[in-house]
Amino acid sequence: MMADELPIVLLAYGNRKYLDEAIESIEWHRAKGLRNPIELWADPAFGSVKVDAEIRELPSQKANVPPYVLAWYFKTWVLRHEVESKSVPFAFLDTYARILDPVAFHQAGELSRTFQVCLSLDPRRILGRDLGSALGTNADLLKAVADIPKSFPLWNTGVIFVGPGERSRALLSRLEEISRGYLERGTPFREQITLVQAVVETGIAPLTLPESYNVRRPFIEPAVVLHTRRYGHFYSVPEVDRPAQFLERQRHQLKAFLFRTFGLQSLV
């Protein structure tokens, strides 16, 4: 598979700002020369969508949960649908993710031919911390992961490379089944935790990619995929186009922090 042949899958559901985010992501990548085929799974309530991508319509689904939980479920549904219908690797991206290194991005797609599911850890999250949060905690989930160490790191589910095979189908099918079960009971869940539950239940662990595939701070660490909403109007990530200005602003922010906290002025 050539570097520009790896299919990319996006999902936009609920608030229309997520559709705007997806359209901007597609236009940004096209402007950067990315010619990979892109599929956008969209909420049918959005109506007609015009962008350089194949538009797919999400199924109708009602549940007594907040829209963001239903969006998390649809992510698992899309992953299952794609792995069961595709005979080639694909990459699922959150709509605000930006590919900064297409060659390394493609290499992860090739890795998924062998390892079938590849994704990186989320450095901000561990199991115990997420279980203690208000979101995604319920008795069923607590029981399901009771025997897993609370220091267990969580994978990030916003940048996933999937290759065809029995292992990927088994893992992602179980992930969708677990999520659907919570959805039908009207209980909250969090996608990163349900992925851990699916891994434990199936015994199928993804290949863990370097954190460069899930970078939260541009130009502070090497990035294959920049995955953050912190920068730019509708997350257009202007700093990716203007790294020198961004680094200078970061340097001034660090100087201000050091001065306020320690009275230091000469370290940066």
Verify that 150 and 267 share a domain, yes or no. no
Verify that 246 and 135 share a domain, yes or no. no
Alpha helices in the chain (DSSP H): 16-31, 67-85, 102-115, 127-131, 139-144, 166-185, 191-202, 238-241, 243-262
Verify that 180 and 243 share a domain, yes or no. no
Verify that 153 and 48 share a domain, yes or no. yes
Verify that 204 and 215 share a domain, yes or no. yes
| Residue 148 main-chain phi, psi, to 5 deg | -90, 135
- Domain of 213, in residue numbers: 3-236
Verify that 118 and 245 share a domain, yes or no. no
Verify that 89 and 215 share a domain, yes or no. yes
By 3-state DSSP, what share of the chain in percent is helix, strand and coil, each rounded to 5? 50, 20, 35
CB 156 within 8 A of CB 214: yes
What count of residues does the chain have? 268
Verify that 212 and 259 share a domain, yes or no. no
Verify that 262 and 196 share a domain, yes or no. no
pTM of the model: 0.82
pLDDT at 127: 83
Q: Strand 8-12 and strand 38-42: pairing?
A: parallel
In order along its 268 residues, the chain shows pLDDT tens digits of 555 689 999 999 988 999 999 999 999 999 999 999 999 999 998 999 999 999 999 998 777 777 888 888 999 999 999 999 999 999 999 999 999 899 999 999 999 999 999 999 887 788 887 777 655 556 777 777 788 888 888 899 999 999 999 999 999 999 999 999 888 887 777 788 889 889 989 999 999 998 889 887 765 567 899 888 765 433 444 445 555 555 555 555 566 655 566 555 544 4
Verify that 207 and 256 share a domain, yes or no. no
pLDDT at 263: 58
- Count of domains for the chain: 2
CB 117 within 8 A of CB 207: yes
Verify that 242 and 210 share a domain, yes or no. no
